[in-house]
């Protein structure tokens, strides 16, 4: 009895191997059948599509247009709504070539907003340099006010050179505080801000 157990194990191992081999063969055959079936379906769908194209080619223009619309919708079903609209426009434009000047003008008007869409978003301007210029102008104004009060003068002229020195000092301070490079802060803009107020 103990001798038969190893023999039965060998048989069960061989049976398992043959089962695995049979399963692999069946899977290969099933895959081949599925591929052949899919190919047959694709060929028949293409043939049916050609028959439908021929049948609808002789129909009323409105019916043919509806058929073309449905066919185009099925061909682009996976695309976004915007891409479907572009595909729809692309199918109509070659069939109705712009013949007159009015048609060409209408086409140009149609393409203008699309060209704007292609440009993308406007590039955002970095707000920090403008904020730094405003802060520097504010500092200069405060310091000029302090100097006027201290000296008792009504105003300090640009010719004296004091405002230019105050602007340069304010730009350096603001640059460090706001972490804006000195090259990005314009002394002319700061001066305009100071004398505008």
Whether residues 32 and 93 share a domain: the answer is yes
Through-space distance between the first and last CA atoms of the chain, rounded to whole angstroms: 112
Total domains present in the chain? 2
Residue 9 within any structural domain of the chain = no
DSSP 16-41: HHHHHHHHHHHHHHHHHHHHHHHHHH
- Final residue before a domain boundary, out of 94, 119, 144: 119
Query: Is residue 48 scored above 50 in pLDDT?
Result: yes
Range of the domain at 179: 127-196
Looking at residue 13, its pLDDT comes to: 57
For residue 129, what are its two tokens?
């340099």
Residue 88 neighbours by CB distance under 10 Å? 15
Find where tokens 């002789």 sit. 58
Whether residues 156 and 92 share a domain: the answer is no
d(CA 35, CA 41): 10
Whether residues 177 and 108 share a domain: the answer is no
Q: Can you give the C-alpha Rg of the chain in angstroms? A: 40
At residue 116 the predicted structure's pLDDT band, cuts being 50, 70 and 90, is: confident
Looking at residue 94, its pLDDT comes to: 62
Whether residues 97 and 24 share a domain: the answer is yes
* Mean pLDDT of all residues in 171-188: 89
* Mean pLDDT of all residues in 27-46: 67
| pLDDT mean across residues, the chain | 76
- Final residue before a domain boundary, out of 56, 91, 119: 119
Looking at residue 137, its pLDDT comes to: 92
* Mean pLDDT of all residues in 85-91: 72
**Exposed e or buried b per residue across 8-29, where buried means at least 16 C-beta atoms within 10 angstroms of its C-beta:** eeeeeeeeeeeeeeeeeeeeee
* Mean pLDDT of all residues in 56-63: 78
Looking at residue 80, its pLDDT comes to: 78
Query: Is residue 28 scored above 50 in pLDDT?
Result: yes
Query: Is residue 92 scored above 60 in pLDDT?
Result: yes
* Mean pLDDT of all residues in 96-124: 74
DSSP 110-175: HHHHHHHHHH-SPPPPPHHHHHHHHHHHHHHHHHHHHHHHHHT-S---GGGSHHHHHHHHHHHHHH
- How far lies 170's CA from each of 135, 164, 176, in Å? 8, 10, 10
Whether residues 146 and 100 share a domain: the answer is no
pTM of the model: 0.39
Whether residues 35 and 100 share a domain: the answer is yes
* pLDDT cut 70: percent of the chain above it: 68
At residue 169 the predicted structure's pLDDT band, cuts being 50, 70 and 90, is: very high
């Amino acid at each position: 009895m103990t001798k038969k157990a190893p023999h039965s194990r060998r048989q069960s191992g061989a049976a398992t191997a043959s089962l695995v081999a049979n399963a692999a063969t069946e899977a290969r055959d099933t895959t081949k059948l599925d591929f052949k079936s899919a190919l047959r379906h694709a060929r028949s769908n293409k043939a049916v599509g050609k028959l439908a194209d021929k049948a609808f080619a002789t129909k009323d223009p409105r019916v043919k247009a509806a058929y073309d619309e449905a066919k185009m919708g099925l061909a682009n079903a996976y695309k976004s709504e915007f891409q479907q609209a572009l595909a729809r426009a692309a199918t109509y434009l070659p069939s109705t070539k712009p013949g007159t000047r009015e048609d060409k003008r209408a086409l140009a008007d149609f393409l203008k907003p699309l060209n704007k869409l292609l440009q993308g978003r406007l590039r955002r301007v970095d707000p920090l340099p403008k904020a730094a210029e405003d802060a520097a102008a504010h500092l200069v104004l405060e310091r000029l006010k302090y100097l006027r009060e201290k000296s008792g003068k009504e105003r300090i002229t640009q010719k004296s050179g004091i405002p230019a020195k105050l602007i340069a000092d304010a730009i350096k301070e603001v640059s460090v505080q706001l972490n804006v490079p000195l090259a990005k802060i314009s002394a002319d803009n700061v001066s305009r801000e100071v004398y505008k107020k």
